[in-house]
Structure 1
Amino acid sequence: MSVHVDIQAACSEPAPEEDDLRRWICTALEQRTPGEAAEVCLRLVGEAEMTALNRDYRGKTGSTNVLSFPAGLPPELALPLLGDIVICTPVVAREAAEQGKPLTAHWAHMTVHGSLHLLGYDHIEDADAVAMEALETTILAQLGFPCPYPDHGHEELATP
């Protein structure tokens, strides 16, 4: 698969290396048909921008960790644009500390999570959440990270 990832750093907080971010996205996007080209924009933002996006696009107050905006282009356009992923750098750092997770592992999880949303995965319904969490766990295991849902019973899925 040919994947182009445009990374925009719109805040000064520390973030993972761009090569790592690209590798995490590419691994998640391998769920697509092999050989297909894909383009993704990853924007790293602070809390003010994420709060505005969360309010404007989801009608929710406050910030969140990751939002995905699938391109939703008509098939006849045949463009490789999948969409945009927005990750709030300070929220990811705060969540990792609060949850006692390694920061890099939480970054990988949020990046994979956002990528899967671009492919149409969701977690609104319980069955969809279980499927998405299992896929996230499998992808993260391929990347060498532990199961991000230890209390959800997916530990057995963390081994490839």
Structure 2
Amino acid sequence: MTKGPSRLDVAVGYAVPRKGIPAAPSFRRWVAAALAGRIREADLAIRVVGTREGRALNRHYRGRDYATNVLSFPADVPEGLPEGVHLPLLGDLVICAPVVAREARQQGKQPAAHYAHLTVHGTLHLLGWNHEDPREAECMEQLEREILAGLGIADPYLDA
């Protein structure tokens, strides 16, 4: 695996009880794997939420009235920063714990592996990857498979 970012700050906040949810170092490792060889410095935040907050955010920002597994909010880097000022803010991820738990059960996956996949998936969105058309989706999914394989996690798209 390619070396990860030289400076990575991942803030993890839990808006739900932490039972069954990975600890911050796991999220940091998954983000680092997604960024390896792609970006040298990054700051991002991950917030693990419940269904109510996940649904409200999805409704407000995407116009979809249901809680989804992961939402990505890329940072809008302010224009006109003084020369030499570097702001490595990548953005925020919101992961809905009840949705992740339900999907992991339904898909017969280990919850930690599903959290890893969604963290990698969301991080790639922060980098500008997309799955709006079939070709983009195929490229993004292949990249996710490679990153997760480097972490020892099976192909998340098998039997999905």
- Give the TM-score of the pair, scaled to structure 1: 0.89
Who is 1:20 aligned against?
Answer: 26
Match of 2:141 in 1: 133
User: Deviations along 1:98-135, whole A, 9 cap, x unmatched?
Assistant: 11111111111011011100000011111110000000
What is the aligned partner in structure 2 of residue 10 from structure 1? 15
Structure 2 alignment gaps of length 5 or more: 1-5
Q: Secondary structure at the match of 1:150?
A: coil
Match of 2:130 among 122, 131, 151: 122
Indicate the RMSD between aligned Cα atoms, in angstroms: 1.5
After superposition, give the CA deviation of every residue in 1:60-95 in whole Å (9 maximum; x if it has no partner): 011100000000214653310000000001110010
Q: For the structure 1 residues 132 and 76, does the alpha-carbon distance in structure 2 shift closer, same or farther, using more than 3 Å as the test?
A: farther
Q: Give the distance between the partners of 1:115 and 1:101, measured in 2 at CA.
A: 20
Give yes or no for the alignment of 1:67 onto 2:75: no
Residue of structure 2 aligned with 1:46, choices 42, 50, 62: 50
Q: Deviations over 1:42-66 (max 9, x none)?
A: 0000000000000000000111000
More helix by share: 1
User: Distance between the aligned counterparts of 1:85 and 1:16, measured in 2?
Assistant: 15
In structure 2, how many angstroms separate the alpha carbons of the residues matched to 1:31 and 1:85? 20
| Matching residue's letter, 1:9 | Y
Secondary structure of 1:22 counterpart = helix
For 2:13, give the aligned amino acid: Q
The alignment's TM-score, normalised by the length of structure 2, stands at 0.89
Question: Would the aligned equivalents of 2:107 and 2:159 in 1 still touch at CA under 8 Å?
Answer: no
1-structure distance, mates of 2:66, 2:140:
24
Runs of at least 5 residues in structure 1 that lack an aligned partner in the other structure: 153-160
Question: Which region of structure 1 is more displaced relative to structure 2, 68-77 or 125-134?
Answer: 68-77
Q: May I ask how many residue pairs the two structures share in their alignment? A: 150
Aligned position for 1:56: 60
Identity, % of aligned positions = 51
* 4+ aligned runs moved over 6 Å, structure 1: none
